[in-house]
Structure 1
Amino acid sequence: MMNLKLTIASFCLVTTAVSAQVKDTLAEKMMVYQLPNGGWGKHTSDKKNVDYSLKLDPKLLKIIKAADNDLATIDNNATSKEINSLIKAYQATKNPDYLKSAEKGIEYLLSMQYPNGGFPQYFPNSAIYRKQVTYNDNAMINVLTILYNISEGKEGFDAVNSPWKEKSKVALQKGIECILKTQIQQNGKLSIWADQYNEVTLKPEKARAFEPMSLATGESVNIVKFLMMQPVTPEIERSIRSAIQWFEESKIEGYAYNVSKEGDKAVRTLSKKEGSAVWARFYDIPTNKPVFGDRDGSVKFNYEDVSEERRMGYSWYNESGTKLIEKEYVKWLKKNKISE
């Protein structure tokens, strides 16, 4: 009788442990904010990026309910951030709800891919520039990195169920083909990539008024780094080498770009610094000159001609090409036993 009681007690304890799922508070909030189509929006009710460390926002929940799927986007790390976080939460807790929510997000990403392999900034919302194939703010590369991790079973994505793995492999290859097709030629030479492209023609286009049709350096650095993760093919090797050559030839030597704070305002200054190099955020496609956009849609070729609001409110230069050339590229050559 005593053994029977112990067996029953042990069974009850095991049942209780299984049924009482461990919960992650951030993941719980992410599931609440998830849209019906599986994606996520990027803004709270006061137009700031969603902060999951804060309490649930009743106003935002009301907006989500009213807008439905129109808020779903991959801009500002939205959707990719949540999927990555939910996978980590599942790793830590084994709560199946988190994996299910992440897989619903993955299904959304797969549903938004164009036949040409590109991804729009928003889906299904196709207003203004939201339907463009978008590298801006690393939107498409964030998505392709998730598809890569699913395909390779990395970063906890080995938990994703088989149907999504097979679909992700196909979508990943289409995405890589799109990257290779959209690398821009200048005078017959491959250069880097633009921020946005027409979703049908894959020709570069402008987006917001201060984001002219141009080559985009920051995003291109991350595109090259993503290509370096892939198995080397002649096309990928040519793409990477061409981009590195463009960065070498287009750097502005002897300058540094500094961002500091004065009260609540950011102060951005371009100053001389020996031994340093910067790249403009945007380069004019035909001339390869640094180019700057303003709120009124005008395009300037002189940084000082940009209105103060835009000059201080946007990062017009970066130094990310230095690490790409001096470290990542060298490491990639060595890893793949490729001669310079």
Structure 2
Amino acid sequence: MRKVTKSLVTLGLCTTMLSGMMAGVPTVSLLKAGNVENVYAADNEQVELGDLVLRFLAIGEYEPNRYTKKNGGKWAPEEIEKGLLIKADMVLGEGNVEGMMAPMKYSLQDITGHVDADVNTGNIVITYNGLTLTMKAGSTTAELDNGKEKTTLTMRSEIAPYFKKVDEEKNVDGSDYYACYLPVKFTAEALGGNVIWNDAMHRIEMAFAFYASDAAASPVVNSKSDYTTKKMESNSNTYSKMKGRIDVTKLDEAAVKANVADMIKAGLNVVNPVYQNEDGGWAKTNTEYDLLEDSFARLYTKGYSTVDNGATHGHMKFLSRIIRLSKENPELFSGYETQLSAIEKGFWKAAKYMCDSQNNNGGWPQYYPYGIGYFRNITFNDNAMPDLMESIYALSNDKGLTDNELCEDYAWARDEIKAQTNPYVLELGIKHDTLKEVWDNGLDFVIRAQVVIDGIKTGWAQQYDPDEKNPVPAGGRAFELPSVSPDESLTMVKVLANIVNPSAEVKDAITSYVNWINSVGITGYGVYNIADRTRELGTDRLILKDGSTTKQFGRFYGLDTTGEYYGFTKAQMANKMTDSKFYEIFAGRDSVAQLSMNYGMGERRIGYSYVKTKADVNATAVYNTWKKALGE
């Protein structure tokens, strides 16, 4: 009997079933499985759904994004090529699924596939689920090897693979960056995927089924665990919480011992080389992967080091608190000396990473050392640079003006830095003068980066161009245009407000922002969620005139007062929602600037917070606390 690789076709996952599965509707029962160790199945063999991993991939026609979905979950968007805003090429015309060409490296990675593409030779080798698909740039033939036999496949000349140089982008080694464009439908079907074209969403959608394996599995998700990767990133394990778990006055001896053991186990998983990268940083997960599970290190997939979404500085704070508690309660941590040494080494590696990743003009990129596209940009958003600076400040200063908690967490580390006897401190060359210089350079950048419009100091941008000597606002994701961002500005103001003995420049930066944010905003409008079955998520969100007196604030504000920066006409500007000369801007995944979120960005306006309240109230509260701390 002829053997074939198990795929959606051999599993009977036809297009009709695919549609049901994509909607999260169970439409078929699969019977007894064959040998789950064997990727080959007899024709028409039926297998247990529980033995399979189901993954759905999608690539948009008009946007620089790919999507991934597990089983019947929601689509998760990310750039087609990490950090870049490059789009698919539709070589046979708009809406023609046969002609979509796009990079697939990261899409296939999400289904355990691997793309090895060599721009110098033109050779492209894709491995997935026991299959090897070999192609060559410019060639209309491909070879599929399933481990038993090799088959030659042909494609039309218009969709032969090619490499495209990405302007101004370099690999880590300094060589030019090329993206490998593959015929998406041809490639997916060659690998056993089912393909449909979603005309309403203007994208190709692909479904794959394959046997479960460690490569396809993810670490255990457990939001109830005290120690998860997301809790590291969100800084949920404060000193007071961790101290409470080992409080001998409130817990019995057995509970304290168990909690100490959990704390150590979590710390060891955090510094495990599988999780902490060699450069000292961590990737972000945004997921509650349980760090108390024995399988974590085996199932975790490494990612690029970043300070985005709380990664790295969040981990560092957690490690510091373990060391602090062990020094305050040595009797409780007796017997864990070897483990504590490993945890401390991970902390110092992270401190070194923070120093190493600062660029020449004083800012920090979102990712380091991976530096492609907007990942290279100096990044304020999602607390990246502000939280990193908070740690640098606490490592080099004994006290904070408005919040002393982190300075207390890092007191033991400052002592080690001053003593210069700790082997890890000596090995990594961590010195007080170095940290002070890093802090001073970062602060100098922040002061210079405050955006001035028509002679008025406003706030700060989400991101800045890393190559410009003077700070220049830059865009991030496709819907994050260069602009002033109140959220990021307030986060940075909190960092500035914590400086003991602030300079005149720091005081002016804080005061200027608070004055500016109180001068902008929208009144007379409200944000409403509206049921809409035509939308992918079944709902829409609009900002509508309702006469409300509640002040609304945009997520982004323009970099001028005329609209010329974004190509707005005078007629368009006359219809902006605000009476202030500082106007709100909006954009969807097409990167087209709008003066209202009601136009051209249906997917984003329901999935992103473009409008918020209390930006002025929150800024004023920080300002008042700061002034009180100054004694003014």
Do they superpose with TM above 0.5?
yes
Match 1:103 to one of 336, 343, 348:
348
Give, in angstroms, the shift of residue 25 of structure 1.
2.7
Q: Does 1:171 align with 2:438?
A: yes
Decide whether aligned partners of structure 1 residues 51 and 252 sit closer, same or farther in structure 2, where only a CA change above 3 A counts. Answer: farther
Show the counterpart of 1:113. 358
Aligned to 1:318, the other structure's residue is in SS state strand
Aligned to 1:148, the other structure's residue is in SS state helix
Match 2:394 to one of 149, 163, 170:
149
State how far apart, in whole Å, the 1-side matches of 2:442 and 2:539 are.
Answer: 36
Asked if 1 retains the 8 angstrom alpha-carbon contact of 2:588 and 2:601, the reply is: yes
Match 1:193 to one of 454, 460, 463:
460
Match 1:78 to one of 299, 311, 325:
311
State how far apart, in whole Å, the 2-side matches of 1:75 and 1:235 are.
Answer: 27
Decide whether aligned partners of structure 1 residues 81 and 238 sit closer, same or farther in structure 2, where only a CA change above 3 A counts. Answer: same
Aligned to 1:129, the other structure's residue is in SS state helix
Q: Relative contact order (alpha carbons < 8 A, sep ≥ 6): 1 or 2 greater?
A: 1
Show the counterpart of 1:41. 283
Decide whether aligned partners of structure 1 residues 74 and 312 sit closer, same or farther in structure 2, where only a CA change above 3 A counts. Answer: same
Show the counterpart of 1:24. 264
Which shifted more, 253-262 or 177-186?
A: 253-262
State how far apart, in whole Å, the 2-side matches of 1:221 and 1:238 are.
Answer: 14
Match 1:182 to one of 424, 433, 449:
449
Asked if 2 retains the 8 angstrom alpha-carbon contact of 1:227 and 1:240, the reply is: yes
State how far apart, in whole Å, the 1-side matches of 2:540 and 2:431 are.
Answer: 45
Show the counterpart of 1:51. 289
Decide whether aligned partners of structure 1 residues 54 and 26 sit closer, same or farther in structure 2, where only a CA change above 3 A counts. Answer: closer
Decide whether aligned partners of structure 1 residues 156 and 175 sit closer, same or farther in structure 2, where only a CA change above 3 A counts. Answer: same
Decide whether aligned partners of structure 1 residues 114 and 274 sit closer, same or farther in structure 2, where only a CA change above 3 A counts. Answer: same
- What are the residue-to-residue correspondences of 1:1-340 with 2, within 5 Å? 24-32=264-272, 33-43=275-285, 48-49=286-287, 51-53=289-291, 55=293, 56-57=295-296, 61=300, 63-64=301-302, 71-94=304-327, 95-153=340-398, 154-160=407-413, 161-162=416-417, 163-201=430-468, 202-230=471-499, 231-253=501-523, 270=543, 276-287=550-561, 288-338=582-632
- Decide which structure has the larger Cα Rg and report it: 2
Asked if 1 retains the 8 angstrom alpha-carbon contact of 2:396 and 2:432, the reply is: yes
Decide whether aligned partners of structure 1 residues 296 and 333 sit closer, same or farther in structure 2, where only a CA change above 3 A counts. Answer: same
Query: What is the number of equivalent residue pairs in this alignment?
Result: 307
Deviations 1:202-231 (A, max 9, x none): 211112111101111100011111111113
Deviations 1:148-167 (A, max 9, x none): 11112413111213134432
State how far apart, in whole Å, the 1-side matches of 2:356 and 2:530 are.
Answer: 41
Asked if 2 retains the 8 angstrom alpha-carbon contact of 1:218 and 1:320, the reply is: no
Asked if 2 retains the 8 angstrom alpha-carbon contact of 1:218 and 1:318, the reply is: no
Decide whether aligned partners of structure 1 residues 58 and 96 sit closer, same or farther in structure 2, where only a CA change above 3 A counts. Answer: closer
Give, in angstroms, the shift of residue 323 of structure 1.
3.5
State how far apart, in whole Å, the 1-side matches of 2:623 and 2:529 are.
Answer: 27
Asked if 2 retains the 8 angstrom alpha-carbon contact of 1:292 and 1:306, the reply is: no
State how far apart, in whole Å, the 1-side matches of 2:271 and 2:449 are.
Answer: 35
State how far apart, in whole Å, the 1-side matches of 2:297 and 2:529 are.
Answer: 35
Decide whether aligned partners of structure 1 residues 158 and 330 sit closer, same or farther in structure 2, where only a CA change above 3 A counts. Answer: same
State how far apart, in whole Å, the 1-side matches of 2:483 and 2:287 are.
Answer: 26
Asked if 1 retains the 8 angstrom alpha-carbon contact of 2:458 and 2:512, the reply is: yes
State how far apart, in whole Å, the 1-side matches of 2:408 and 2:526 are.
Answer: 35
Decide whether aligned partners of structure 1 residues 174 and 251 sit closer, same or farther in structure 2, where only a CA change above 3 A counts. Answer: same
Aligned-partner residue type, residue 269 of structure 2: K
Decide whether aligned partners of structure 1 residues 284 and 88 sit closer, same or farther in structure 2, where only a CA change above 3 A counts. Answer: same
Deviations 1:139-182 (A, max 9, x none): 00010000111112413111213134432222111111100010
- Unaligned residue ranges in structure 1 (runs of 5+): 1-20
State how far apart, in whole Å, the 1-side matches of 2:518 and 2:482 are.
Answer: 22
Give, in angstroms, the shift of residue 238 of structure 1.
1.1
Deviations 1:69-109 (A, max 9, x none): xx011111110110011111222335232222111101001
Deviations 1:38-71 (A, max 9, x none): 000113xxxx54634463446754x42xx6xxx0
State how far apart, in whole Å, the 2-side matches of 1:330 and 1:291 are.
Answer: 29
Give, in angstroms, the shift of residue 255 of structure 1.
5.5
Give, in angstroms, the shift of residue 327 of structure 1.
1.6
Asked if 2 retains the 8 angstrom alpha-carbon contact of 1:90 and 1:96, the reply is: no
State how far apart, in whole Å, the 1-side matches of 2:489 and 2:472 are.
Answer: 16
- Unaligned residue ranges in structure 2 (runs of 5+): 1-259, 328-339, 399-406, 418-429, 562-581
State how far apart, in whole Å, the 2-side matches of 1:165 and 1:265 are.
Answer: 55
Which shifted more, 109-118 or 302-311?
A: 302-311
Aligned to 1:35, the other structure's residue is in SS state coil
State how far apart, in whole Å, the 1-side matches of 2:531 and 2:496 are.
Answer: 35
What's the TM-score once normalised by structure 2's chain length?
0.45
Asked if 2 retains the 8 angstrom alpha-carbon contact of 1:107 and 1:164, the reply is: no
Decide whether aligned partners of structure 1 residues 275 and 222 sit closer, same or farther in structure 2, where only a CA change above 3 A counts. Answer: same
Which shifted more, 327-336 or 49-58?
A: 49-58
Identity %: 26
Give, in angstroms, the shift of residue 269 of structure 1.
6.0
What's the TM-score once normalised by structure 1's chain length?
0.82
Aligned-partner residue type, residue 277 of structure 2: L
Decide whether aligned partners of structure 1 residues 226 and 129 sit closer, same or farther in structure 2, where only a CA change above 3 A counts. Answer: same
Asked if 1 retains the 8 angstrom alpha-carbon contact of 2:514 and 2:616, the reply is: no
Aligned-partner residue type, residue 113 of structure 1: Q
Decide whether aligned partners of structure 1 residues 326 and 189 sit closer, same or farther in structure 2, where only a CA change above 3 A counts. Answer: closer
Aligned to 2:518, the other structure's residue is in SS state helix
Aligned-partner residue type, residue 455 of structure 2: G
Asked if 2 retains the 8 angstrom alpha-carbon contact of 1:74 and 1:122, the reply is: yes
State how far apart, in whole Å, the 1-side matches of 2:631 and 2:583 are.
Answer: 34
Show the counterpart of 1:10. none
Decide whether aligned partners of structure 1 residues 155 and 286 sit closer, same or farther in structure 2, where only a CA change above 3 A counts. Answer: same
